[in-house]
Amino acid sequence: MLKINIPEEPNWILSKLIDNGYDAYVVGGCVRDSILGNIPKDWDICTNAKPLEVKGLFAENKIVDTGLKHGTVTLVLGDGNYEVTTYRIDGEYSDGRRPNDVLFTDDLKEDLSRRDFTINAMAYNDIDGLVDYFGGESDLQNWLLRCVGLPNDRFNEDALRMLRAMRFSSTLGLVIEEETSKSIHDNFELLSKISLERISSELNKLICGLSCSTVLREYQDVISFIIPEIKPMIGFNQHNPYHIYDVWEHTLAAILVSPQDLEIRLAILFHDIGKPKSYSCPTGIGHFYKHHLYSEEIAKDVLRRMKYDNKTIDNVCKLVYNHSVPMVNTRRSVKRMLAVVDDLFDKLLQVKICDMSAQSPMSIAKKKKVLENIQQIYQDVLKEKDCFTLKNLNVNGDDLISIGYNAGKEIGIMLNRLLELVINEKLNNTKEELLEFARVTIK
């Protein structure tokens, strides 16, 4: 019999419920992840105890009424939050997100039958072992993702489940079962009912999965419904000897070899999104002059629309804009780029490497060598603590005021000029030399 090692705190909750005459199981993602050999992030519990009975039983513990209407009581034990939810039957989903009402039940099977996918509809305790009415364990063994019941019903209840299916396929490497997949292609417009914040949250997880490229290719109709700006990329022939893929396939090939970092993957997703808008072909060879400008503009619009935080928007847009800005393997060139992107330099190099790796083989070897040399120069600059930003400069505003500069705009202008001279190796980054230049330059 399958044995799941349940941590002390959720196991204590189970034991207390069972010792007091109730049914109780860990359920959902924690069971799925345990079977896969992964460490669960959350341990959720289902029980036939009603919410007020749960609250009474754990009255001495900290309780948060997170979803009392829908049968959920959250227990706070140590640093962990544990959701304890009463078996329930869901009512109608009029908003495409949550049931209007729920009916509590004593039947575990009825509770599990309302869940999205078979792999999330399994329950477990040490007494009964694995409770699996819908074949979730078998589906996991066959790397299959399948809805509980009819896919159309599940997706009409909550359209976000379609993106969850794509996310599980991307992160767990599961193949979406044929009927479930067809239902996603048939029903993705239901996503218009879902808030952009919820969509972005699922997209972030999807895009960081190992199988992200495969999923985005299979469900390009879904992703281009969420982000319509992607649609022109699909099938757009670049007519350029340095490229062997259309714009969309080039993007997917670049994502395939990229680190599982959200900012890097978002930057790669958007890095060429401006190419269709910038395309010209006067001599039979495609050109995309200033496509990085259009790509940055589109990326900013999309990320703002999808409610990303300002830091993510700024970082992704900076990576998108600079992905095609030329760099040569010299110390000056590296420091000039460091002055622009600072601590994003590592990520920018990754974006450039992935972009290069998805181009024509005829251009890869030479570009790869240049990028390797740039990486080494970057490491040397860091090791030797070279100056490439104002915070590394060995003078500041107070120093300039002390030699006669007025507080205000002229200080910023001079500091940036000194930084440029240091980066271009026209001045050494010593306080004496910098102040001497500033002193003789003062008006």
Judgement on whether residues 340 and 354 belong to the same structural domain of the protein: yes
Judgement on whether residues 330 and 404 belong to the same structural domain of the protein: no
Tokens 């622009």 locate to 340
Q: Does any domain span residue 313?
A: yes
Q: Does any domain span residue 198?
A: no
Judgement on whether residues 316 and 429 belong to the same structural domain of the protein: no
Nearest Cα to Cα of residue 293 among 311, 259, 318: 318
Tokens 């915070």 locate to 391
pLDDT at 94: 62
Nearest Cα to Cα of residue 170 among 237, 122, 135, 222: 222
CA distance 89 to 73: 17
Domain range for 339 is 261-385
Judgement on whether residues 316 and 414 belong to the same structural domain of the protein: no
CATH classification at residue 71 = 3.30.460.10
Q: Does any domain span residue 154?
A: no
Judgement on whether residues 266 and 362 belong to the same structural domain of the protein: yes
Judgement on whether residues 78 and 62 belong to the same structural domain of the protein: yes
Q: Does any domain span residue 211?
A: no
Residues 6+ apart with CB under 8 A from 33: 39, 40, 41
Nearest Cα to Cα of residue 133 among 116, 154, 112: 112
Q: Which residues of the chain are under the pLDDT cut of 50? A: none
- What token pair was written down for 217? 């290719």
Q: How many domains does the chain have?
A: 3
Predicted structure pTM score? 0.90
Backbone angles phi, psi at 88, to 5 degrees: -150, 160
Judgement on whether residues 397 and 315 belong to the same structural domain of the protein: no
pLDDT at 366: 79
Q: Does any domain span residue 416?
A: yes
Q: Does any domain span residue 277?
A: yes
Judgement on whether residues 321 and 406 belong to the same structural domain of the protein: no
pLDDT at 93: 66
pLDDT at 385: 86
Q: Does any domain span residue 235?
A: no
Q: Does any domain span residue 398?
A: yes
Last residue of a domain, one of 385, 401, 433: 385
Judgement on whether residues 12 and 131 belong to the same structural domain of the protein: yes
Judgement on whether residues 365 and 416 belong to the same structural domain of the protein: no
pLDDT at 443: 62
pLDDT in tens, 60-74: 999 988 777 778 999
Chain centroid, CA 335 distance in Å: 29
Judgement on whether residues 334 and 321 belong to the same structural domain of the protein: yes
Judgement on whether residues 427 and 367 belong to the same structural domain of the protein: no
Tokens 């970057």 locate to 378
Last residue of a domain, one of 135, 169, 198: 135
